[in-house]
């Protein structure tokens, strides 16, 4: 707790989403990549110069981190629309040591898990919000194409698919639902049984409840508000229920030889077959267990992801 506050939580959210800690000789660096795909938004009525909004947002984030880290931060843009924040430390100072303490032995977003401090009941909720906002600024996208089959809009938090980070979506879901009362509709796993090969994992969260987190980027926040207000108008009686941890199975899925892919799947999943997303969640540590009468849930999970 002595090494953690709202600003540190935000930085750690950026790093866990798409960050790396690199040590080369006496130089230490933090790299955080902002994928262009998560910075492009699509609303209904709002219009703005997206490249300018992205640059302004990155400058704001760099300014916040510069005050925290007391070192220079470079913004590097690529021709593919991606942007990288580069932080350099020229000595093994206390800030660097604190980050290593918080993040443990992992140094790459493909192996990070959530710091234990985020699950401590004594940790201020503001810090947990800031961690998730940092994560969403990098890996969250808000656009019309994310909408559910009934038309309600959703935010998606992407977790790139690495063998050693499959637990991360379940941890994010627990933090959102159990600590901040923000319901997660479902996790679209990048698993062959889910029809998504080994693509990224996606946490789907309706726009209305996600306003409690929001975005630092002004254009992303504008579209979030626009789509959330649209949903409040069009679905005034909508109830945003958290994933209950289990839903009725309506059909079984065919086996796939990639269920035993040791290059992509962690030991807890390798060689196992799954018919629903929540079965993967349970295998990876989800502790939610609904009452028997709640298992027949209103939504057909087989139809919840709209093809893009």
Q: Which of 160, 159, 161, 163 is nearest to 262 (CA)?
A: 163
State the Cα–Cα distance between residues 167 and 130, nearest whole angstrom: 21
Whole-number Cα distances in Å, 212 to 128, 133, 181, 225: 11, 10, 10, 11
The DSSP secondary structure of 188-250, one letter per residue, reads E---GGGTSTT--EEEEEEHHHHTTT--SSHHHHHHHHHHHHHHHHH-TT---PPP-S-----
State the Cα–Cα distance between residues 186 and 297, nearest whole angstrom: 13
Q: Which of 246, 291, 286 is nearest to 268 (CA)?
A: 286
Q: Which of 185, 190, 181, 179 is nearest to 124 (CA)?
A: 179
Q: pLDDT averaged over the chain?
A: 92
Please say if the pLDDT value at position 158 is more than 50.
yes
8 A C-beta contact, residue 278 and residue 248: no
Q: Tell me the mean pLDDT in the region 132-148.
A: 96
* 140-142 and 154-159 beta bridge pairing: antiparallel
Residue-wise pLDDT for 269-300, tens only, equals 999 999 999 999 999 999 998 876 555 554 44
Contacts of 219 (CB under 8 A, 6+ apart): 41, 46, 48, 50, 53, 54, 57
State the Cα–Cα distance between residues 24 and 132, nearest whole angstrom: 29
> Within 13 Å, how many C-alpha atoms sit on residue 124's CB side?
11
Please say if the pLDDT value at position 37 is more than 70.
yes
pLDDT at 293: 54
State the Cα–Cα distance between residues 80 and 100, nearest whole angstrom: 31
Strand, helix or coil for residue 91: coil
Place of tokens 């975005």: 215
Neighbours of 249 (CB within 10 A): 14
Strand, helix or coil for residue 32: strand
Query: Quick one: CA dihedral 122, 115, 141, 297, positive or negative?
Result: negative
Residue-wise pLDDT for 67-124, tens only, equals 999 888 999 999 888 999 999 998 888 889 999 999 999 999 999 999 999 999 999 9
Confidence tier at 307 by pLDDT (50, 70, 90) = very low
């Amino acid at each position: 707790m002595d090494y953690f506050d709202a600003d540190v939580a935000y930085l750690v959210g950026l790093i866990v989403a798409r960050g790396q800690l690199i040590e080369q000789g006496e130089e230490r660096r933090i790299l955080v990549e902002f994928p262009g795909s998560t910075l492009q938004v699509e609303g209904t009525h709002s219009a703005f110069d997206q490249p300018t909004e992205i640059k302004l947002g990155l400058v704001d984030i760099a300014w916040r981190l510069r005050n925290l880290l007391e070192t220079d931060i470079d913004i590097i843009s690529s021709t593919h629309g991606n942007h990288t924040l580069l932080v350099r430390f020229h000595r093994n100072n206390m800030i660097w040591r604190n980050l290593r303490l918080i993040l443990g032995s992992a140094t790459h977003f493909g192996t990070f898990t959530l710091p234990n401090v985020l699950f401590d009941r004594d940790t201020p909720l503001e810090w947990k919000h800031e961690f998730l906002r940092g994560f969403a600024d990098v890996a969250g996208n808000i656009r019309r194409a994310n909408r559910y089959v009934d038309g309600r809009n959703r935010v998606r938090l992407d977790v790139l698919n690495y063998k050693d980070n499959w637990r991360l979506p379940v941890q994010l879901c627990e933090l959102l639902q159990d600590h901040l009362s923000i319901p997660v509709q479902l996790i679209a796993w990048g698993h062959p049984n889910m029809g998504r090969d080994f693509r990224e994992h996606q946490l789907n969260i309706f726009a209305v409840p996600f306003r409690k987190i929001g975005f630092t980027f002004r254009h992303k926040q504008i579209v979030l508000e626009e789509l959330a207000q649209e949903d409040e108008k069009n679905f005034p009686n909508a109830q945003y229920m958290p994933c209950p941890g289990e839903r009725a199975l309506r059909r079984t899925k065919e086996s796939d030889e990639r269920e035993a892919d040791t290059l992509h799947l962690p030991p807890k999943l390798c060689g196992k077959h799954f018919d629903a997303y929540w079965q993967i969640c349970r295998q990876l540590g989800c502790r939610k267990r609904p009452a028997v009468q709640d298992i027949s849930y209103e939504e057909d999970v087989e139809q919840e992801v709209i093809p893009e």
